[in-house]
Structure 1
Amino acid sequence: MAANVSVELELHNEPLPMSAPFRIAGHVFEAMPATVVTLRDGMHVGRGEAAGVYYNNDHPETMIATLEALRPRIEAGLDRDTLRTLLPAGGARNALDCALWELESQRSGVPVWKLAGLEKANKLLTTFTVGADEPSVMADRAAAYSQARALKLKLTGDPELDAARVRAVRARCPQPWIGVDANQGYMAATLPLLLPALVESKVSLLEQPCVRGQEGDLDGIERALPFAADESILDLAELEALHHRFDVINIKLDKCGGLTEGLLMARRARELGKQVMVGNMCGTSLAAAPAFVLGQFCDVVDLDGPIFLKQDRTPSVHYEDGYISCGDEVWGPKAAA
C-alpha cells in the first residue's frame, strides 16, 4: 500500500452454520465460525474474513483478541508488509491483510487482481468436495454435482473403506478429474495399502496423507501419483523447510496469513519446481474472493466453500459449468459493506 492513513477498525464474529454436517478424518463440522475485519477511512471500506486454523487452536475468539490488542496500531494505519512483521501466520493476519487489500483497491479504484499483477481475472475450474461417508452415499453426492468437472473426496485413513469410496465414486463419475484428501489420516504402514486403488481409479492427487510433523513417514513410499501438502506446510517458512517432501503445495489464506503471503508462497513454490493449489477453510464469498485472486496463479483450485453454508453473502461468487468466477462487486473497488 501507499502512505498509511488512519482507519476505524470494526471486528465481529459470525457463526456460519453449514447446511449439513461435513466429515473429514478426525472431525465433523456443523459450522465454520469466522472473524470479519472491516476498515473504514471515511470514504472507503476494506473487509476480510477468516475462519482460522482449527488444528492449531486458531479460532475466531482468539483472533478477535489478537486484533483488539493491536487496535491502536491498526487504526493509526499500517501496510501489508508491516503487518507481516506484527502478526504470525494465521486467521487474524489473514482477515486484516485481506481488508487492507480491499481498502487499497477502493482507494485506487483498481481491482485487487490487477494490484496483484494480473492482466485479467479468469474464471477458474474448481473442485467440488464430497465429505467422508459410506461409499454409496459418496457416489450419490458426487453424481449430484452435475456440473462438476473436478471432484475432491475426503478420506478417513481406513485403506479398505477409502478404496471402496474412491471406486464407488469413479464408477458413478467416470469423467471428472478426482483428487483425494486424507487430512492426515495415514501412516507409513497404511498408506501403501491405499495407493493401488487410487491408481486403479485414476485419482490425480493425494492431499495430506500424513500427520503434520511426521512427514518423514513419506520417505521410501513410491509415489504413484502426486502428493500435496496442506496441514504440513502453513506459510512461507514451512514451504522452504518441507517442500522437498511434496509435489504440490496447497496454499490457504487462513494458514499463511493472507493474500500477501499467499502470493509470495505461490511464486516461491514455482521457483522450487512445485505445482500450486489454492483452498480455503469453507467460509463465505468474502473468504473465497481473495483466494480466487490467488487461484489465478495456481494449477489446482479448491474453492467450493460457500456452497456448504446455509447462507452466503450477497453479492457472491458464481459457480457455473464447474467453474468459479468472482466479480469486483464481491470484493474490490465496486464492493460496499
Structure 2
Amino acid sequence: MLRRLSVRHQSWPLAAPFRISRGVKHSAEVVAVDIRQGAAIGRGEGVPYARYGESTDSVLMQVRAVAGLVEAGATRENLERSLPPGAARSAIDAALWDLEAAATGQTVSATLGHCPPRPLITALTVGLDTPERMAEAARSLAGAALVKVKVDADRPETQIRAVRRHCPDARLIVDPNESWNIGLLRALQPVLVEARVDLVEQPLPAADDAALEGLGPAVPMCADESCHVSADLPRLRGLYQAVNIKLDKTGGLTEALRLLAAARADGFRIMVGCMICSSLGIAPALQVAREAEFVDLDGPLWLERDHAGGARARAGVLSPPDPGFWGEPRPRMAWGAG
C-alpha cells in the first residue's frame, strides 16, 4: 500500500525566554512529519539546531529529498543509509515507528518488549540569567527532585550557589553548554563538590575533549555535544563518565536505542535529554528514558501551549502523553495544539 509523506514547519511560542550560553529562544521551531498509509498515520517531530549546522530550511529540504524513498516503503534501516543523524532523520524515524504501531495494532512499547511509559522524574531547568533572577527561578522549583542549571563562564560559581540555596534537596545538573575552558573547570571542582552537584554536562567545547584527559573530576562529566551516535563512544572513554542521548542528535529512536545499549556496555551513566520541543518530540524518547539515571525531558514544559493530550508535569514528575498520542493504535482524531 502506497504511503504519503507530508512535512511542515511549526512554531511554538514559549511561556518565557529560554537562555543558555549560546543565546536565547522565544519559540520552539520544529519540523513535523506525517506519513499516511491507508487509514494509518504516523507522526514525528525534529528540532533543527544551528549548533549542528541545521536550519528549518535545511531540515525541510532533507526530508523532502527522501520523501519518495519513504513513500516507496523505506524502512528505518534504509533511512539510516539515506540521511545523516540529525533532526530530519529523527522526525521521519519517529513517524515510521508511529506508523507501524497504527498499522499493526501493536504499541511501540510492546514491539520493544517494554511496559507502557510511566511517570518519570525529569529535570526542571533554570535558564541562564543574572544570579538574582536565577535564584528567583529556583525558588519557584522548591521541592523538585532534579534541577538543571544553565551557566556560562561569567560567575558560574555564583549562579550555581544561588540555585542550590533555593533548591537545597534537589539533585543538581550543571550545564555550561561548552562555555568553559579546562582551567575554569579545574578551578570550579571545589565549588561543584560544595554545591553537591551530581553531574556536569558538556563543560568544554566538543573540539577540546582531549583536555579532559587525566582530569580526575570530582563530579561526573556528561558528554552532550560530544556524543551523537554509538560510533562516538570509543573516543569518549576515559574523558566522560556519562552520555546524554537526544533523538535529534542520534537521528531518532532507532539509533538512540543502539547508543543506549552500547553506552551501558561501556559503563557510561545514561542521561536522556531533548531540545525545546513539543510533546511529540519527547514521546519517542520516553522509550529510552525508562533506563536513564538522569532524565531531562522538560522541553514541552517551556511552551505556552502544547498538543492536546501531551505530556504533563507536576513538581518535576513527568506524566507521559495520553494513550493514542504516539506509538500506539488510535482512533481517527483531530491533531493539534490544545
* Same-fold call, TM cutoff 0.5: yes
Aligned counterparts of 2:249 and 2:4: Cα–Cα separation in 1:
26
Task: Return the letter of the residue paired with 1:116.
Answer: L
**1:214 matches 2:215:** no
Counterpart selection for 2:51 from 46, 51, 55: 55
Q: How does 1:131-150 map to 2 (within 5 A)?
A: 131-150=127-146
Structure 1 SS opposite 2:85:
coil
Would the aligned equivalents of 2:174 and 2:197 in 1 still touch at CA under 8 Å?
yes
Paired letter, 2:198: S
Q: Retained in 2: the 8 A contact 1:111–1:328?
A: no
Corresponding position of 1:262: 256
Q: CA deviation at 1:117?
A: 2.3
Cα deviation, residue 120, structure 1 = 3.6
Counterpart-to-counterpart distance in 2, 1:141 and 1:114? 39
1:334 Cα shift? 4.3
Match of 1:87 among 80, 83, 88: 83
Structure 2 unaligned regions, length at least 5: none
Structure 1 unaligned residues grouped into runs of 5+: none
Give the equivalent residue in structure 1 for 2:327.
Answer: 332
**Residues 1:261 and 1:102: Cα distance change in structure 2 (over 3 Å):** same
Root-mean-square deviation over aligned CA pairs: 1.4
Are residue 116 (structure 1) and residue 112 (structure 2) matched? yes
| Equivalent runs, 1:291-302 vs 2, <5 Å | 291-302=285-296
Matched residue SS, 1:138: helix
Residue matched to 1:32: 28
Q: Which residues in structure 2 correspond to 1:223-262 (within 5 Å)?
A: 223-262=217-256
Partner of 1:199: 193
> Structure 2 length normalisation: TM-score?
0.94
2:215 & 2:163 partners in 1: Cα distance? Answer: 25
Mapped to 1, the partners of 2:284 and 2:42 lie a distance apart of 12
Distance 1:164 1:325 in 2: 33
Corresponding residue SS for 2:192: helix
Which amino acid counterpart does residue 226 of structure 1 have in structure 2?
Answer: P
Tell me how far apart the structure 2 counterparts of residues 244 and 61 of structure 1 sit (CA, whole Å): 38
Deviation at 1:37, TM superposition (A): 0.4
TM normalised by structure 1 equals 0.94
Letter aligned with residue 300 of structure 2: P
Secondary structure of 1:244's aligned partner: coil
**How many Å apart are 1:212 and its aligned residue?**
1.3
Letter in 2 for 1:133: D
Q: Which residue of 2 aligns with 1:320?
A: 314
Give the one of 264, 268, 276 matched to 1:282.
Answer: 276
Query: How far 1:74 sits from its partner (Å)?
Result: 1.1
Question: Which residue is 2:151 aligned to?
Answer: 155
Distance 2:181 2:112 in 1: 39
C-alpha distance after superposition, 1:45-68 (max 9, x if no partner): 100001123201212211110111
Structure-1 separation of matches of 2:189 and 2:323: 42
One-letter amino acid of the counterpart of residue 13, structure 1: H
The structural deviation recorded for 1:147 is: 5.0
Partner of 2:99: 103
Cα distance between partner residues in 2 of 1:256 and 1:52: 13
What is the alpha-carbon distance in structure 2 between the residues aligned to residue 194 and residue 292 of structure 1? 33
Percent of paired sites with the same residue: 35
Which AA in structure 2 matches 1:331? W
